[in-house]
Chain A
Amino acid sequence: MSKLVYLVPLFPLAGFLINGLLRKKLSKSVISIIGCGTVLASFVVSLLIFLDARQEGFETVVVNLFGFISAGSLKIPFAFQVDQLSVLFLLIITGVGFLIHVYSTSYMHDEENEHFARYFSYLNLFVFSMLILVLGANYVIMFIGWEGVGLCSYLLIGFWFKNIDYGNAAKKAFIMNRIGDLGFLIAVFWMINKFGSVGFAEVFTKAPSVPVGILTGITLLLFVGATGKSAQIPLYTWLPDAMAGPTPVSALIHAATMVTAGIYMIARSNIMYTLSPITETVVAITGLATALLAATIALKQNDIKKVLAYSTVSQLGYMFLGLGVGAYTGAVFHVMTHAFFKALLFLGAGSVIHALHEQDIRKMGGLKKFMPITHITFLLACFAIAGIPPFSGFFSKDEILAAAYEKNPIYFIVGVITALMTAFYMFRLYATTFLGKFRGTEEQEHHVHESPSAITIPLIILAILAVVAGFVGIPEVFAKDSHWLQHFLSPIFAGSEKIHQTPGADKSTDLTLMGISVVLALIGVVYAWTKFSKNPELGEPQGFGKILANKWYVDELYDAIIVRPLNAFAKFLNDVVEKSVIDWIVNGVGKTVQYSSRQIRLLQSGQVGGYVLLMVIGIVILFLVEIFIKK
């Protein structure tokens, strides 16, 4: 079955081509069937491969499709690698991706036929790129997917490109990603230089024999790529702006594709990161700082999608913290549970936006009785992200926090504070949106209704997953050998675990840590619930809240220290260098040629004697050269 893995990305590619090329001919129902069907087919193939891979003694399969680059001794095949990690990501991408596709058929139904097809072809291309990213058996193939998702995010964020702000948001996402991609690219070149190969198998076997300094450099550059793609400090600002795209796209970017790319890449290269402790510390601290910063910003946002966007940035920070402290399984686990509950949150938010045509939570409220299914699924997702047991987020978050505690208790403390804030802002969002009194216009109240089944069914499926997904990774404390995911992924992380080998905290410490995080999360939930269900904050924030509402002025800071100087520099180049230097050189060349040819033309006198004289002078010069200079 694993040999057929090339089918998985092939289906979405076919869907992209059909929908993209025939967008003016197909009807909406055909487009929907092609768009969803191709992803469903990929999901089925992935599921079959997964059933293969979960059997005992499954060996990593590398499927060589064709030679991609061959230059001297460097051979880069176009190869796919099937192992436990890539299979798990295949399932997440195609599974959640499929639900989002189904959801989109209803959400985007008001679009014109042509744009509807364009939307679905982009969506399929997005899934295709992400599949290439996780399937590639070397860093170059991964880079193809890496660039592909960057392109697709640009296309989809700027889907409504007639709005100039949306176009700018798309450009911002693309440029931020490009900055990160540069780091990734340099790392790949460095690897070619040091390892003579970019294949995962070769690089990871040779990694221990390479000096730590070089490994640190390579891993840090790869991490720069990851900060771009996975929205970490300092390149995170594109993700909240990516809300410009249609809501299902946000769900796709935040849950199934794109932002998990950086986590996947680091989890894939875990052995290199384990071998360079400096990078591990950098990753952990960056993740932690991002988690905290984004959580503080999310406290004061009033746009339903912005809150979710910052919560994604914050949760991604958690994942990086997990990667940095060596809890690779925990990070991948959190990717999985996060994919479910964050997709659910975004799709729920989309359902609300679809019903109200409004994104400001201050103008919502009381939607509980209008949209029961959306309400209950959203509530479950909030519990999951807040880390309330036994919802899925609790297990994955707790695993990361426990590993962080073993590494350094300060990590744990900051992580728990972030968890408290997470619980608080999620339930602020929930309470303001769904509880209390309806604060919209009367017309909206008249129109508000539960969304159609194409929207609610994905919500229900995702809600079930968000609730139960945690049970694949029950910690040791509760039941021995019940952490199925750890067992499943152990071949991938075996090398790193051998090096880390922390003794593991004893049972009582583990339980205490869990207790602390759960109690704090519950405090956050209850406080937010009581505070915002009756009287939500409707006024403009004051003082410190204003700083948070303005996102710590990071965008303004970037604008002042990077964008504006760059613009000024470009203006200088345009006004001064272009006009007086480059133009001068170009025109000067022309004038010189004209002038000198006019002068040289005078030699052409037509006098035979003159010609002969020149000839003789030439011969004499040649003789002189021959005699005196050339010895």
Chain B
Amino acid sequence: MPINYYIFLSVTLFCIGVTGVLTRRNAIIIFMCIELMLNAVNLLLVAFSKMHHLALAAVDANAGINAQIFVFFIMVVAAAEVSVGLAIIVMMYRNTHSVDVNFLNRLKH
């Protein structure tokens, strides 16, 4: 498949993620959108890696595997980040009885 399809797909996913972060007020949905953006980037990373090493693919089945390993790392870090993020959301709910980010406007002061 041409690389363009991958790029369009991941740009679409990324834009959905950005729009979600910007428009939604629910912290959990924002969080999910962030994950969406991360995964859009992951997809792009793998696609580009495959494209980059296309010439070698016939000789070496493992060509372009570096990016896939990289993506795993990103997933692991994202998982760790999710655990911290969810913990923050839990704490936020305990304090404000809401997960609406617009309540968190005290940075102004």
Q: Using a CB–CB distance below 8 Å, which chain A residues touch chain B?
A: 604-609, 612-613, 616
Contacts and interface: CB of A to CB of B under 8 A. Distances in A.
A254 B22 CA distance: 89
A606 B109 contact: yes
Q: Is the interface of A mostly helix, strand, loop or mixed?
A: helix
Contact of B108 (A605, A609, A613, A616): A605
A609 B21 CA distance: 7
A608 B22 contact: no
B28 to A, nearest CB: 14
Contacts of A608: 101-102, 104-105, 107
A138 B21 CA distance: 78
Given A605-B105, A606-B104, A613-B22, 20 more contacts: A604-B108, A605-B108, A606-B105, A606-B106, A606-B108, A607-B102, A607-B105, A608-B101, A608-B102, A608-B104, A608-B105, A608-B107, A609-B21, A609-B22, A609-B23, A609-B25, A609-B101, A609-B102, A612-B22, A616-B22
Interface of B: 18, 21-23, 25, 101-102, 104-109
Nearest to A609: B22
A606 B22 CA distance: 14
B56 to A, nearest CB: 30
Contacts of A613: 22
A605 B109 CA distance: 9
Contacts of A604: 107-108
A616 B22 CA distance: 9
**Best-surrounded residue of A604, A607, A608, A612 (most CB of chain B within 10 A):** A608
Contacts of B23: 609
Contacts of A616: 18, 22
A616 B23 CA distance: 12
Contacts of B22: 609, 612-613, 616
A21 to B, nearest CB: 63
B34 to A, nearest CB: 10
Contacts of B109: 606
Contacts of B106: 606
Nearest to A604: B108
Nearest to B18: A616
B41 to A, nearest CB: 13
**Best-surrounded residue of A604, A606, A616 (most CB of chain B within 10 A):** A606
Contacts of A612: 21-22
B73 to A, nearest CB: 23
25 contacts: A604-B107, A604-B108, A605-B105, A605-B108, A606-B104, A606-B105, A606-B106, A606-B107, A606-B108, A606-B109, A607-B102, A607-B105, A608-B104, A608-B105, A608-B107, A609-B21, A609-B22, A609-B23, A609-B101, A609-B102, A612-B21, A612-B22, A613-B22, A616-B18, A616-B22
A624 B42 CA distance: 23
A120 to B, nearest CB: 72
Nearest to B27: A608
Contacts of B18: 616
A496 B3 CA distance: 92
A609 B33 CA distance: 13
B48 to A, nearest CB: 17
A24 B104 CA distance: 75
Contacts of B105: 605-608
A358 to B, nearest CB: 84
A608 B105 CA distance: 7
A607 B102 CA distance: 6
Nearest to B107: A606
B84 to A, nearest CB: 17
A600 to B, nearest CB: 14
A613 B109 CA distance: 20
Nearest to B24: A609
Nearest to A605: B108
A606 B21 CA distance: 16
B69 to A, nearest CB: 27
B40 to A, nearest CB: 14
A606 B106 CA distance: 6
Nearest to A606: B108
A605 B25 CA distance: 15
Contacts of A605: 105, 108
A519 to B, nearest CB: 104
B13 to A, nearest CB: 15
A612 B21 CA distance: 8
A447 B22 CA distance: 106
A609 B18 CA distance: 11
Nearest to A601: B108
A604 B107 CA distance: 8
B12 to A, nearest CB: 16
A375 B79 CA distance: 116
Contacts of B102: 607-609
A463 B15 CA distance: 108
A606 B101 CA distance: 10
Contacts of A606: 104-109
B82 to A, nearest CB: 18
Contacts of B21: 609, 612
B23 to A, nearest CB: 8
Contacts of B25: 609
Nearest to A611: B107
A56 B108 CA distance: 94
A218 B102 CA distance: 79
A607 B104 CA distance: 7
A607 B108 CA distance: 8
**Best-surrounded residue of A604, A607, A613 (most CB of chain B within 10 A):** A607
B10 to A, nearest CB: 15
